[in-house]
Amino acid sequence: MLQITIGDLLEEKARLQPDHEAVVYTDRALRWTYEELNLKCRQAAKGFMKLGIEKGEHVAIWASNTPEWILSQFSTGKMGAVLVTVNTNYRTAELEYLLRQSDSTTIILMEEFRGASYIDMLYEICPELSDSEPGNLHSKKLPKLKNVIVMGNRKYPGTFNWDEIMELGREVEEAELDTRLKSLSPFDVINMQYTSGTTGFPKGVMLTHSNIVNNAFNVARCMRLTNEDRLCIPVPFFHCFGCVMGTLACVSVGAVMVPIQEFKPELVLKTVQDEKCTALHGVPTMFIGELNLPEFENYDLESLRTGIMAGSNCPIEVMKDVMDKMGAEEITIAYGQTESSPVITQTRTHDPLELKVESVGRALPDVEVKIVEPGTGKEVPIGTQGELCTRGYHVMKGYYKNEEATEAAIDDKKWLHTGDLAVMDDHGYCRITGRLKDMIIRGGENIYPREIEEFLYSHPKILDVQVIGIPDETFGEEVMAWIILKDGQTAACDEIKEYCRGKISRHKIPRYIEFTDSYPMTASGKIQKFRLKEQAQQAIMPNS
């Protein structure tokens, strides 16, 4: 295991390969070497120190995949502030909750994203900002919040801009930063991520340097990433997929990170082609979007070799196409959750196709995994379904200011209970069969949505499917399928039901079927099944 802080990790790579490219943004002709990245992060770290931000203070960041995001991640890693990542889809109520619950003293934000003005939303929450001196905000709703930093060079009342922070850094001696850097421990909390909210109210997951540095390094090893690789990162930085499995994994091995500020399938493929990227990350829906581009065949993706697909289960045809048509023969599948920094299991580059679609791999190095009987905690035999639990360096320190939830998630023997149902084989490979809370109980029969989803994926007209349970007076719950059809296809509910008859148990055949163009998703690519359940109330008709 690595015993190093994020700040020291970057210093080490800058010493070892100062002239090696570290960051490339093709949309703005930006190229930084490891030495340049390290110097810019040191400058930003000193700027934060000049603002009076102390070790352990919480600094929120609300932005897409900008260069300033990367600088903020590694500069807070150097001066010891805890970076609190904010979902780019948040609006005023969610932002106010996060800033208050996290006790953030500083927020770094971009001006707007996808037509939503982040600046206007912040002024709505903190009207006092308009008449405040920068760094001296006194907000009724957010009494801890003092500093507002806007990315770019434009000035707004009561705020600093990014250029000013970099200038303030010149007023702090290098030795002062070195002293701060030396005072940090690998076991200090350095990152706080709020769970995506697929199952209710977000909780602040506290992650240490050791949690995420080691997870990033082991993830990189599993996909055989080295300093010769160039990783295209279109997944959002605010999620562990982006900032641990992406940026931090690159730094852990000295690879080049090639971020995409906002996901667009054509931009991803053009970037892979022009920068000769050898690795690519994405959730299945991203890969589907890339593969289904009408101009897909026009892109030269010969350089692609590896990467990670994660976030939700991958249909076998999609995996085949990623390996064959995109050339990423060594693509891996990763599974985990924010509470585990995030990866628990991962397939390896040379695992056969079957393992890459039928399993989520085996435990990372130095990670323990067991399958237990829900409720009792008793370990179940190989091949038996139960709850997946994990223990090791990667388990979070806890939920911020929520001891009750922490104790419910991590037992007295330090095992993290994921809430995911799984089966493990003789070789340690795990297959996720559903979530404890997703399990449908129909007339006393336990039904796991994942099983029905996997079956329906085999229908030639179906592109994607999500299965949920909805209340029913007779059976307690009934099965409902939300289906996205392939382009140009049409289908009727009876056609789908007929396809199921005789192939899956009658009680598993969806009683209700709705066709849709998209699913409600978190910004990190997770499908929000609880939203589908809400939509079902309006969608279901008596004759369904």
Residue 290 CA to residue 266 CA, distance in Å, equals: 7
* Lowest-pLDDT range of 105-114, 325-334, 425-434, 448-457: 448-457
Where on the phi/psi map is residue 435: left (φ > 0), alpha (ψ -120 to 50), or beta?
A: beta
Instruction: Give tens-digit pLDDT for 107-161.
Output: 999 999 999 999 999 999 999 999 999 999 999 999 999 999 999 889 999 999 9
| Res. 544: pLDDT tops 60 | no
Please confirm whether the linkage preceding 342 is cis (ω < 30° from 0). Answer: yes
Calculate what percentage of the chain has a pLDDT beyond 70. 98
User: Is 347 within 8 Å of 330 (Cβ atoms)?
Assistant: no
Instruction: Give tens-digit pLDDT for 157-166.
Output: 999 999 999 9
Tokens of 291: 């593969």
CATH T-level assignment (fold) for domain 447-539: GMP Synthetase; Chain A, domain 3 (3.30.300)
Instruction: Give tens-digit pLDDT for 447-496.
Output: 878 889 988 999 999 999 999 999 988 788 899 999 999 999 999 999 99
Three-state DSSP class for residue 218: helix
DSSP secondary structure string, 435-460?
Answer: ETTT-EEETTEEE-HHHHHHHHTTST
pLDDT band at 200, cuts 50/70/90?
low
The count of other CB atoms within 10 Å of the CB of residue 298 is 11
Residue 113 CA to residue 89 CA, distance in Å, equals: 9
pLDDT band at 324, cuts 50/70/90?
very high
User: Is 121 within 8 Å of 211 (Cβ atoms)?
Assistant: no
- What are all long-range contacts of 265-271, with beta carbons under 8 Å and residues at least 24 apart? 265/289, 265/290, 265/292, 265/293, 266/293, 266/295, 267/27, 267/234, 268/232, 268/234, 269/293, 269/296, 269/299, 269/301, 270/26, 270/299, 271/26, 271/232
The strand pair at 82-85 and 112-113 is best described as unpaired
Specify the higher pLDDT residue, 266 or 505: 266
The C-alpha angle 48, 211, 283, rounded to 5 degrees, equals 95
Those residues whose C-beta lies under 8 Å from the C-beta of residue 175, and which sit 6 or more positions away, are none
The C-alpha angle 429, 431, 432, rounded to 5 degrees, equals 140
Three-state DSSP class for residue 323: helix
Tokens of 215: 């997870």
Tokens of 170: 């010149």
| Res. 403: pLDDT tops 90 | yes
Residue 224 CA to residue 281 CA, distance in Å, equals: 14
Where on the phi/psi map is residue 342: left (φ > 0), alpha (ψ -120 to 50), or beta?
A: alpha
Tokens of 323: 């390996």
Instruction: Give tens-digit pLDDT for 32-79.
Output: 999 999 999 999 999 999 999 999 999 999 999 999 999 999 999 999
Provide the pLDDT for residue 196.
57
Provide the pLDDT for residue 151.
97
Residue 463 CA to residue 515 CA, distance in Å, equals: 11
Residue 446 CA to residue 462 CA, distance in Å, equals: 25
User: Is 280 within 8 Å of 232 (Cβ atoms)?
Assistant: yes
* Lowest-pLDDT range of 235-239, 282-286, 527-531, 536-540: 536-540
Identify the H or E element spanning 418. strand 416-424
Those residues whose C-beta lies under 8 Å from the C-beta of residue 194, and which sit 6 or more positions away, are 84, 85, 86, 87, 98, 102, 202, 203, 204, 205
Residue 165 CA to residue 133 CA, distance in Å, equals: 15
pTM of the model: 0.87
Q: 3.60.10.10, 3.40.50.12780, 3.20.20.70, 3.40.50.300: which CATH number matches 1-437?
A: 3.40.50.12780
User: Is 62 within 8 Å of 170 (Cβ atoms)?
Assistant: no
Tokens of 184: 């940090």
Residue 210 CA to residue 195 CA, distance in Å, equals: 20
Spans of all domains in the chain: 1-437, 447-539
Residue 57 CA to residue 47 CA, distance in Å, equals: 15
Residue 451 CA to residue 374 CA, distance in Å, equals: 19
Q: How confident is the model over 529-534, as a mean pLDDT?
A: 88
Q: How confident is the model over 284-291, as a mean pLDDT?
A: 92
